Structure 1
Amino acid sequence: MKQRKFDPGDVVSLRLPKDLTEQDLKGLNTLKSKLDRDFNKIITPIFLSAVNDYVTKGQKQLTVPLPNKLTEEQENHYNHPMVQQLIGQIVYQLISNPSKPFQIPNMTQQEEQKPTPEAKLQNSFAARFAKKNLLDFDD
């Protein structure tokens, strides 16, 4: 029997194990009766979180907590792959050598080095990100 891949919107059916505790069954039945049609909306994130934990079990990960009240624009900004990579590099530098300060390149250093257009784009993005989010002296 050939297994096919899941696509968004597909129906996934699960068989509950026979050794499921009475407390777990009671909790599922209570949720089902209480939520009725919204049951899937509540269970799906829990299920996907468990699947993600299982898949990433062997991988090393670090979670960086962000402020609770972010605008949609800020969330999109933080979800950008370059921003995530920059945050990862900063965290790595802090972990690998916490006593050594690290420098974020500014525009004058970039002009002296005459970087390639790709590097200039990346460095200017990093400099804007750091200036906007990390170098706030008002606090």
Structure 2
Amino acid sequence: MELEPRTFPPHPIRGVRAVYARQAGCPSDFAEITADFEPWEDGFAFEVAGNAVVKGCSWAEEVPGFHAAVAAGMGEELADQGTGTIVAVAVVLRGIRVHAVDSNDRSFRMAGRLAVRGALIRAYGPPPRPKHRRT
């Protein structure tokens, strides 16, 4: 039995917060983002809100690269959804929080992926867990 593909997102999902923090030595990884997911035309559209908040960053030249990394991570995660999900989303980045030492493009790419996962859970609930087989 084949299931009907679902369209993501089925409704607006606002205020999705994702934090990627990994302590594995120095420097570590840190990124925090907040985004809204809106139903849109087929595909993935990304924009940074005109009033987007940037916390913890004193070097503004890095911020556009972090925004691009968020978009890349979101695009990767959405592409990984496969044929069971029709992507028709506009994502509006509302804010980021940066750590002066531990933030980097990789951290923000991972935060973008986590934000998509969080939005999917808010839209459809957690994914089914594999059943434990007794032997």
User: TM-score surpassing 0.5?
Assistant: no
Structure-2-length-normalised TM-score: 0.28
**Structure (1 or 2) with the larger CA radius of gyration:** 1
Structure-1-length-normalised TM-score: 0.27
More strand by share: 2
Where relative contact order (Cα < 8 A, 6+ residues apart) is larger, the structure is: 2
